[in-house]
Amino acid sequence: MKRITLVALLISTIAFGQKKSLTENQMIKGERIPNLIQSLPQVVGWVDDEHVLMSKRENGDTATSYLLVDAKTGKITPSDKSVLTKEPSEPISILSRNNDLFLLVDGKESKQLTQSTDPEINPTLSPDKKWVAFTRKNDLYTIELSSGKENRLTKDGSDLILNGYASWVYFEEIFGRPSRYRSFWWSPDSKSICFMRMDDTHVPLFPIVGETGQHGYVENTRYPKSGDNNPTVKVGIINTEGSSMVWADFNEKDDQYFGMPYWMPNASSVLVQWMNRGQDTLIIYAVNPMDGTKKEFYKEIQKTWVELDDMGSRIHFLPSNKGMIIKSDKDGWEQLYWHNADGSLKNQITSGPNWSTNIEWIDTLKNIVYFTSRQQNSVRTDFYKVGMDGKNQTRLTFGDFTHSINLSPKGSYFITKYSNATSPDQLALVSNKGKLITELGSSMGNAFNDYSLAKTEIIRIPSEDGLFQLPIRITWPMNFDPSKKYPVMINIYGGPNAGTVRDGWQFSPLAQWWAHQGLIQVSMDHRASGHFGKNGVNYMHRSLGNWELKDWITIVKWLRNNGADSTRVGIAGFSYGGYMTSLALTKGAGYFTHGLAGGSVTDWHLYDSHYTERYMDTPKENPQGYAAGSIMQYVDNYKGLLRIYHGTMDDNVHMQNSLQLVRKLQDAKKHFEFMVYPGGRHGWGGNQSAHSTNENNMFIYKNLLNKEMPSALYR
C-alpha cells in the first residue's frame, strides 16, 4: 500500500513539475503573466432590446474593436460606436471651483453663480434643472439659474445648528458616506425641498488632536457615544424661494432617529422614516408638505432591530399610481412586498432564503420583477424573475457560479459575467427565460492550464451547535502536504451582516506569493454575517463579539485538523476586524496566536450611539453585554503577540480605543507592538500606507513564517 502511494506521488510530482511556476517579479512586482488571464469584452451599451454593443481589446493591443451582438440569434458582427444613439450631454451642470459655483451649459462655463469666501457645499440641481440648492455655513440656499438670484432659505445656521447639513452620526451611520453630509432632498416637481435641521447643542464634544505646527491643534467633533445625547432633529419643507416653510409634526425633543425621506412621485407628500432610539420600531409617515401634518403609512417592529434605509433602497415606486415595492427582512430573509399607494400591503412578491436582494428592473406591462439575490447559495449571487403576485419565481442564471448581470432595456435578455473560486470570469448572453444564447468570452488565457497555481476553494464547516454550515474561503500552500503543519493567516471583518466569503474568481499574484511561502490563507464568516438571513444576524443582539468568536474558534479547530500549525495562527482585521482580532488574542488566546489589529473598537462604550445601540441597546439597558464585549475584560488571558496600529486623527473609531487597550496591557505587563500614523483618519494613504503594509508583512514573516522578509516585497 505504501509503495503504491509513493509511485502515485512520484507521478503527480512529475506532472506537476511540467507546469510553469510564477516568477517572483510576476507575483510581487506586477510583471505581466503571458496568456494566463485575458481581458473580457466589455458592454458599451444596449442599442435596443435585442442588440448590444461590446468593446474588445486583445492583450497587448492598444486599439479597441467593437462588436454588435444580435441577442435574438447570438450572431456577432464587427461594428463601431456609431450604432449607439449618442446620449445627449448634460445641458446644465454645476462646477464647484475655489469655493464658488459656476453654471456650465453643454459642458462650457456660462456664468459664475456665487461670490463668497465661504464654500458652497453639496450643490444639487433641481429635477427640472432650473435651480441649484446648496448649504453654506450650515444654512440652506437656492439659486435660480436663469436670473442668478440667490435665496437664503434658513437663517439660524451655526456650529451647532445645521440646516441641510448632517450631524456626524447621521452622516456616518444613517445617510452614509456617499451623502457627503447632505441632508436636503428636492421634490419631483422642483417646487420644494425637504431638509433636516439638526441641533448638536447637547451632543458631547470629542477632541481630536493634530500634531502639526509648533503648538498642534484640536479638532472638536460632536460625537455621541453609546448612551449619549444624540442631535435633535426637525424635518422641514420649504419652497424654492424660502417664502413658505412648514415643520413636519414631530416633537424634536423625542429620543428618535429619522432616515432618508422619499418624495411621492407626484410630490403630494413626503414619506419620512421615523425610528425610536431603541431601533426596533420603524414607522414611515406620509407628511403633508402644505401643513406638516402626518399619518402613519407603514410600520415594522422586530424583536431585535430594524435597519434604517441609508441609500434609498427600501422603497421602489411603481408608475400609474400602482403603489410601490418595499424591501424588508421582517420574515428572517430579505423579501420584496407590493404595497398599495396608501401604504397597505397588497401581497408578498419574493420567497425563499433571499439575501442581498436587489431589484434590477420591473416590467410594469407584464407585472414581472427581475432581481438579484444570494438565494441558491449564500456565497453566490443569482438572477431571478417573479410575478408581482408572487407566483412563478424562477432562477435565470445557471451553474455553481456567482453572476453579475447587465439587463437589456425591456428585460428580454441579459449578459452575465460569471465565475467561481476555481473558474475565471466568463461572459454569456442569456434570454429572460434562462436560455443560454451564446458565450461571449472567457478570461481564461490560452496558457492558463500551463501554470501551477495555488488551490483556492470554498468549504462549509458545521458550527459547534450544528445549526449552521459556516463558509470559509481558503487558499492552500503550494505543494500542500497533509502530513505537515503550516502557518495560517486569517483576514476578517466580522461585523453584523458583513460577510466576506464569496464564491467568485479573485486571482491575486500576491496571494500566490504567500502560497509559495507556505502560508494557509483564510477568510471566514460566522452565523451573523448574512449567510443565514436576519435570523442568523439576530444572534448578535446585545452580544457583539460573542458568536463571531465562538464560530471562528470552531473553524480554527477544523484548520488545526487539516494542516494548520496551532502555534502559528494569525488573524488580521481593521475597524470591526480590529476589534475581533483583539478579542481573538485575548478571549480566544487559546486558539489565535498572532494578530494585526488596525483602527480597532476595543470597548463598545467608546463607539457611536446609532451603530452600537442598534445591536447592543444602551449601556444602561445592557451592562452585562457591554462588559462581555469589551477587550479590557480579557487582557489577563492575553498571550501570543498582538500588533496594534491606529491613525491619530481617526474621527470614526477614535484612537482612544487603542490607547485604553495599550494602557490595560501595560498595567498587566504584557508584551505587544504598537504603531501610530500621525494625521491618519480611519485609514491612510501615501507613504504611510506603504509603511503600514511593510510592517504588517514583516510581522507575518517574522512570527508566522519564521524568516526574514525578502527585499522584493518592500514597497
Tens-digit pLDDT profile for residues 339-354: 999 999 999 999 999 9
Task: Provide the pLDDT confidence category of residue 89 given band limits of 50, 70 and 90.
Answer: low
Examine residue 130 and state whether it is found in any structural domain, yes or no. Answer: yes
Which pLDDT tens digit goes with each residue over 546-586? 999 999 999 999 999 999 999 999 999 999 999 999 999 99
Q: How far is Cα 402 from Cα 506, in angstroms, rounded to an integer?
A: 12
CA angle 213, 215, 216 (to 5 degrees): 65
Examine residue 242 and state whether it is found in any structural domain, yes or no. Answer: yes
| Domain boundary pick from 291, 306, 321 | 306
User: In this predicted structure, what is the pLDDT of residue 566?
Assistant: 97
Q: What is the CATH number of the domain that holds 577?
A: 3.40.50.1820
Q: How far is Cα 163 from Cα 231, in angstroms, rounded to an integer?
A: 12
Mean pLDDT of 608-620: 98
Whether the per-residue pLDDT at 3 is higher than 70: the answer is: no
User: In this predicted structure, what is the pLDDT of residue 5?
Assistant: 38
User: In this predicted structure, what is the pLDDT of residue 180?
Assistant: 94
Q: How far is Cα 644 from Cα 638, in angstroms, rounded to an integer?
A: 14
Tell the residue number behind the cell numbers 457591554, with chain if given: 626
Task: Provide the pLDDT confidence category of residue 600 given band limits of 50, 70 and 90.
Answer: very high
User: In this predicted structure, what is the pLDDT of residue 627?
Assistant: 98
User: In this predicted structure, what is the pLDDT of residue 30?
Assistant: 86
Three-state DSSP class for residue 210: strand
Whether the per-residue pLDDT at 88 is higher than 60: the answer is: no
Whether the per-residue pLDDT at 540 is higher than 90: the answer is: yes
Task: Provide the pLDDT confidence category of residue 7 given band limits of 50, 70 and 90.
Answer: very low
Examine residue 24 and state whether it is found in any structural domain, yes or no. Answer: no
Examine residue 386 and state whether it is found in any structural domain, yes or no. Answer: no
Task: Provide the pLDDT confidence category of residue 313 given band limits of 50, 70 and 90.
Answer: confident
DSSP label of 479 = T
Mean pLDDT of 318-329: 95
Predicted TM-score (pTM) of the model is 0.93
Examine residue 432 and state whether it is found in any structural domain, yes or no. Answer: no
User: In this predicted structure, what is the pLDDT of residue 106?
Assistant: 86
Whether the per-residue pLDDT at 14 is higher than 70: the answer is: no
User: In this predicted structure, what is the pLDDT of residue 86?
Assistant: 66
Task: Provide the pLDDT confidence category of residue 16 given band limits of 50, 70 and 90.
Answer: very low
Whether the per-residue pLDDT at 451 is higher than 60: the answer is: yes
| Domain boundary pick from 271, 306, 341 | 306
Domain count, the chain: 2
Which pLDDT tens digit goes with each residue over 213-227? 999 999 999 999 999
Whether the per-residue pLDDT at 68 is higher than 90: the answer is: yes
Contacts of 521 (CB under 8 A, 6+ apart): 474, 475, 488, 489, 491, 511, 514, 515
User: In this predicted structure, what is the pLDDT of residue 60?
Assistant: 58
Task: Provide the pLDDT confidence category of residue 82 given band limits of 50, 70 and 90.
Answer: confident
Q: How far is Cα 547 from Cα 439, in angstroms, rounded to an integer?
A: 43
Whether the per-residue pLDDT at 315 is higher than 60: the answer is: yes
Examine residue 35 and state whether it is found in any structural domain, yes or no. Answer: no
User: In this predicted structure, what is the pLDDT of residue 174?
Assistant: 95
Residue 493: all three cell numbers together: 471583518
Residue-number span of the structural domain to which 483 is assigned: 454-690
Q: What is the CATH number of the domain that holds 215?
A: 2.140.10.30
Query: How far, in Å, are 22, 514, 517, 559 from residue 709 at the CA level?
Result: 19, 11, 10, 25
User: In this predicted structure, what is the pLDDT of residue 81?
Assistant: 87
DSSP label of 12 = H
Examine residue 557 and state whether it is found in any structural domain, yes or no. Answer: yes
| Domain boundary pick from 278, 306, 334 | 306
Q: What mean pLDDT, rounded, does the chain reach?
A: 94
Examine residue 296 and state whether it is found in any structural domain, yes or no. Answer: yes
Task: Provide the pLDDT confidence category of residue 393 given band limits of 50, 70 and 90.
Answer: very high
Query: How many other C-beta atoms lie within 10 A of the C-beta of residue 81?
Result: 12
Pick 60 or 106 by higher pLDDT: 106
